[in-house]
Amino acid sequence: MNPTWAKTTGLWALVTTLFILALLTPGSVFAEDPKLKTKSQKSAPTAFADEKPKPVLHWGEGDGKSYLVPAVDITGFLFLLNQFDRQFMASDDYHSDFSSFEDNLTGSWVSDSDPFSINQFLHPYAGSMYHGFARSAGLDYWSSLGYSAAGSLLWELAGETTPPLG
């Protein structure tokens, strides 16, 4: 018998036994909030009698929303991504400047020819970053979706020298 197999089997048996014991344990073992019984307990300033605290949102707009913060975050992220790609990618596609931005802005869009790994992993990852920047600034889902679209558009126009992809 293989000693590694025996150790692994013993470990699985232990984990399974502990799991079954945890399922069979009565619910009273788990922590619960204490019950406030008397009127003085209910009115006393304790952690259990107070209402839940509300977060203080304070960056100046509405209920803590900021439309400027995600725009700066996305622009900075794209700038740093472009600079990284310029230094570490073998392609000249990331050596964009104002003339390539103008060409991309006025030129026609082309069909996407990116490889599977780019389209299925890196593009969604970048979009989730833009969306996350907006959500962390207090914006709702639909507003954040607009920032995702704007970030993708900005990258297609200013991040690469290749024509924008449709």
pTM: 0.62
- C-alpha 34/C-alpha 49 separation (Å) is 10
In a 13 Å sphere around the CA of 161, the CA atoms on its Cβ side amount to: 10
Residue 123's nearest CA partner among 86, 97, 87, 149 is 149
DSSP sequence for 6-45: HHHHHHHHHHHHHHHHHHHS-GGGS--PPPP-SHHHHHS-
- The CA-atom distances, in angstroms, between 10 and each of 6, 18, 19, 72, 131 are 6, 12, 14, 55, 46
Q: At 29, give phi and psi (nearest 5°).
A: -75, -30
pLDDT recorded at residue 21: 73
Cβ neighbours for 165, distance < 8 A, ≥ 6 positions apart: 109, 110, 111, 112, 113, 114, 156
pLDDT recorded at residue 95: 92
pLDDT recorded at residue 19: 76
pLDDT recorded at residue 15: 79
Tokens (6 digits) for 3: 């000693």
pLDDT recorded at residue 20: 79
The owner of tokens 């502990």 is 18
**Which residue(s) pair with 165 in the sheet?**
110
Report mean pLDDT in 10-residue bins for the chain, 166 residues. Answer: 58 79 64 68 60 63 78 95 92 91 91 87 94 92 94 93 82
